[in-house]
Amino acid sequence: MLNKNMIASLLLGISAVSTCYAQEKEIAITIDDLPFVGSANNNADKLKRENERFMLIMQALIDHKVPATGFVIAGSIEKNQWQLLEKFRDEGFILGNHTYSHKSLNNVTADTYINDMDKADTILTPLMIGPKYFRYPYLAESKGEKKQAVYDYLSGHNYKIAPVTIDSKDYKFNAQLFAIPYRLRPQNLNQLKNRYLAYIWSQTLRAEANAKQHNTEGGKQILLIHANLLNSHFLGDIIDMYEKNGYKFITLTQALEGPAPAIEIPIDDTDTPSAAEISQAVKVLFTKSVSVKAQHLSNETIVPVN
């Protein structure tokens, strides 16, 4: 876990990167788990919040004129969310296949997985324009004959596999955000944002070092984030961070012309934040001053954060 000194050093490093160095860097944004992380189970109020958060993510991309590719879990599309995906596509963003039910290839047979991909392919074909992209849930590609069988399906259906070179692990920070009581979120957002950006930057530096080690310095980076509450707040800040350091945002198609080395170790299905991790993270966020403020919430005007 990043402590305060590490965060301060990383944030200082972000502002200190030389323009000469950063000008040569390019990065593509990819967003997993569209339409939105989790399920509203067609609850009207929850769907309204999810759709608003989806629109905030999309608007951040539009405002910054940044291309992006989103990967859809076909089985998670709820009432009226098809229109959101159409709007995303109509704004010029690319949509790809993230399977029907988000199974890990490590945990099912090749036939089960292929049927799941194919079911999603049938549903998502009207949304997929241009190149057809596929992203493995959990980045799990398995191995041996099972891996080859899935690869053969993808190749036979004209899919290009979308690798990842920078993993934001935003799901951990998203869980920390949800763990903060609703009315205490506003005064904690800035601390969480700084920790999140510092972590992404540390992952970026690691990816650049890995590229250098593999003699692909200057290779194009591919960032993985998710369509979640966290990024509805902070995607604009992520974009600003990279732009201030001279990174140019490109399409996934452009990134695949000369990518940096992909992450090699698949993410295990169990790679989710534990209760202990969340508890510790929340303790870090709650400083003594915030605790004092919390005692007087009834006397304060709090701006709601959904």
| This prediction's pTM | 0.83
Q: At what angle do helices 170-179 and 229-244 cross, to 10 degrees?
A: 130
User: Percent of the chain having pLDDT more than 70?
Assistant: 79
- Reduced to 3 states (helix: H, G, I; strand: E, B; else coil), residue 273 is coil
pLDDT tens-digit series, residues 177-207: 999 999 999 999 999 999 999 999 999 999 9
Give pLDDT, residue 300. 31
Burial 236-261 (b: 16+ CB within 10 A, else e): bebbebbeebebebbbbeebbeebbe
Angstrom distance (rounded) from CA 186 to CA 183? 7
pLDDT tens-digit series, residues 120-169: 999 999 999 989 999 999 999 999 999 999 999 999 999 999 999 999 99
Where is average pLDDT lowest: 36-45, 232-241, 281-290? 281-290
Residue 275 exposure: Cα atoms within 13 Å on the Cβ side: 0
Give pLDDT, residue 298. 31
Structure tokens at 257: 């012309």
Q: Within its chain, how far is the Cα of 263 from the centroid?
A: 15
pLDDT band at 22 (very low <50, low <70, confident <90, very high): very low
Structure tokens at 167: 């993993």
Which is higher by pLDDT, 264 or 303? 264
Using the predicted structure, report yes or no on whether residue 17 has a pLDDT greater than 70.
no
Q: Within its chain, how far is the Cα of 278 from the centroid?
A: 19
Give me the domains of the chain, ranges plus CATH numbers: 25-290 (3.20.20.370)
Alpha carbon separation from 268 to 30, 104, 111, 121, 137 (Å, rounded): 20, 8, 20, 24, 10
DSSP 88-151: HHHTT-EEEE--SS---TTTS-HHHHHHHHHHHHHHHGGG--SSEEE--GGG----HHHHHHHH
- Reduced to 3 states (helix: H, G, I; strand: E, B; else coil), residue 31 is strand
Using the predicted structure, report yes or no on whether residue 211 has a pLDDT greater than 90.
yes
pLDDT band at 40 (very low <50, low <70, confident <90, very high): confident
